[in-house]
Structure 1
């Protein structure tokens, strides 16, 4: 599996660097991780952190096989079996380049340990929902989002080979076309799960 292009790595590391002032996590779950480009880039800043990934695509299992992830989980975070299995396991959970719904945020908080941090990058502002779940917002910024998996995240898990490669190439082309537009801007919010949080 080829490494991400250098500009993408810089962008991904910038996102990971945002967590540095708040915690040195032992465990980190990246949701919709795909090929685990984000954990691979973040590992240079957090060499002692165990990175796990979750994705609907079988790419997450390949990422585990090539040791980009400690553990790879196939499915949705909102699946009750996955949420129960991962409950209170992580110091950091990242939801990047998504439009997380209230139930996605609740599931992410459920797998965080008390005092853990949720890193969200989204075109929608998640702060009101996070506050309603008993979190403390520790930082908010508007920034350029890293390359989204717009096409690849919609492929059925069984699609591999040339069609998957074509989808990744299209994602990259879209990212270049959207750079500098309002579609490339995202809220970056880091929220802390309080010890008395009412998250399930």
Structure 2
């Protein structure tokens, strides 16, 4: 009797060299095509009163290209100008297949040069909603692995938490019991908006608006997902923080090319009020995240140390470069630890001054408004 045929061999994942060849072909066409035309007016208020806030390379992945943040002198809105096209956003998106030994990989997550928020911090954010009662349903937008709903459940045990994210991580979070329903997509997509319309008592957008191409459209979609009388919970990096002026390109919310907009609290408050919402709370102190110095140090080291191997490099690093990077990385760890300790020591002062880096805003949708 003939032996059974061997099982089919799965096709191998793309090797670094194959991906290097693919990146080389893309980069041969230049990076200018990844940018939209430069705007001469503010996308928030329309004023022709722009100034360049900073210009920077990609400090995290070190992909080729330079990026500019412009600031409107009239309203303070800060935005990427020229903005990345959808193809550009895809090119600069962090891809797990491209993973390499970025600085302090044990403390970074993707393109995040600072530790992910602790469970305690996430509970502090959820605690801000306690004065408004226990909601029946809550949607967390841009939830990722649903760390926030998982932490918030300790304070709201009878609330049904759902998650929305453009990646399949939210499905894995549902399978792990962190959310009840998992929605893959974007809040502004017509199909998603129709499916979620008027379903929730609370919608949270935590450090989400900075990444969206159109923050106004995102806010309208979030309000559409709320029931009349429901609450919107926002946490946003504060572009008026003195830390941003002091640290410049090394300030984490300035990180390019991933942050498309930085919105002053006054602008966001006025927009919500124009949509018929009551802004119940604006807190510039409690949400401060003590990571400015550690993140700036991490970004600086990522830029200063010899580059690790990555598919967008024309050639892999030499053995000497790799050894030098390993030695310098170990030597620099005490510096990063010192920066983290300084952040924690300075936090009580920073959160009570204009060095606070984040604000939290809670708004209530008017009970008489059904649609936007």
Report the TM range for the smaller structure's normalisation: 0.7 to 0.9
Larger radius of gyration: 2
**Per residue, is there more strand in 1 or in 2?**
1
Indicate the SS of the match to 1:107.
Answer: helix
Displacement, 1:187? 1.5
Indicate the SS of the match to 1:144.
Answer: coil
For 1:113 and 1:49, locate their aligned partners in 2 and report how far apart those are by CA, in whole Å: 15
* Corresponding residue to 1:193 among 342, 365, 370: 365
1:63-78 pair list within 5 angstroms: 63-78=173-188
For 1:57 and 1:146, locate their aligned partners in 2 and report how far apart those are by CA, in whole Å: 28
CA contact (8 A) 1:140 1:187 kept: yes
Indicate the SS of the match to 2:118.
Answer: helix
1:23-42 pair list within 5 angstroms: 23-42=133-152
Match of 1:105 in 2: 219
* Corresponding residue to 2:131 among 7, 10, 21: 21
Match of 1:127 in 2: 269
Displacement, 1:97? 1.0
Displacement, 1:41? 0.3
Displacement, 1:177? 9.9
CA contact (8 A) 2:141 2:208 kept: no
For 2:274 and 2:169, locate their aligned partners in 1 and report how far apart those are by CA, in whole Å: 34
Please say which of residues 26-35 and 7-16 is displaced more in the overlay.
7-16
Match of 1:136 in 2: 278
Q: TM-score if structure 1 supplies the norm length?
A: 0.77
CA contact (8 A) 1:97 1:146 kept: no
Q: TM-score if structure 2 supplies the norm length?
A: 0.42
Displacement, 1:196? 2.1
What is the number of residues matched between the two proteins? Answer: 169
Distance 1:79-1:17 versus aligned 2 partners, 3 A rule: same
For 2:271 and 2:365, locate their aligned partners in 1 and report how far apart those are by CA, in whole Å: 13
For 1:68 and 1:93, locate their aligned partners in 2 and report how far apart those are by CA, in whole Å: 16
1:125-164 pair list within 5 angstroms: 125=265, 126-142=268-284, 143-145=287-289
Indicate the SS of the match to 1:14.
Answer: helix
Q: Deviations over 1:73-126 (max 9, x none)?
A: 101000111111011000000000123601001000000000000000012222
Displacement, 1:69? 0.5
Displacement, 1:195? 1.2
For 2:185 and 2:171, locate their aligned partners in 1 and report how far apart those are by CA, in whole Å: 11
CA contact (8 A) 2:279 2:364 kept: yes
For 1:80 and 1:177, locate their aligned partners in 2 and report how far apart those are by CA, in whole Å: 46
For 2:290 and 2:138, locate their aligned partners in 1 and report how far apart those are by CA, in whole Å: 18
Q: Deviations over 1:132-173 (max 9, x none)?
A: 1100001110131499xxxxxxxxxxxxxxxxxxxxxxxxx9
CA contact (8 A) 2:209 2:218 kept: no
Residue 87 of structure 1 pairs with residue 87 of structure 2: no
Provide the aligned C-alpha RMSD in A.
2.6
Q: Which runs of 4+ in 1 moved over 4 A?
A: 176-184
Match of 1:168 in 2: none
Indicate the SS of the match to 1:92.
Answer: strand
| More contact order relative to length (CA 8 Å, sep ≥ 6) | 1
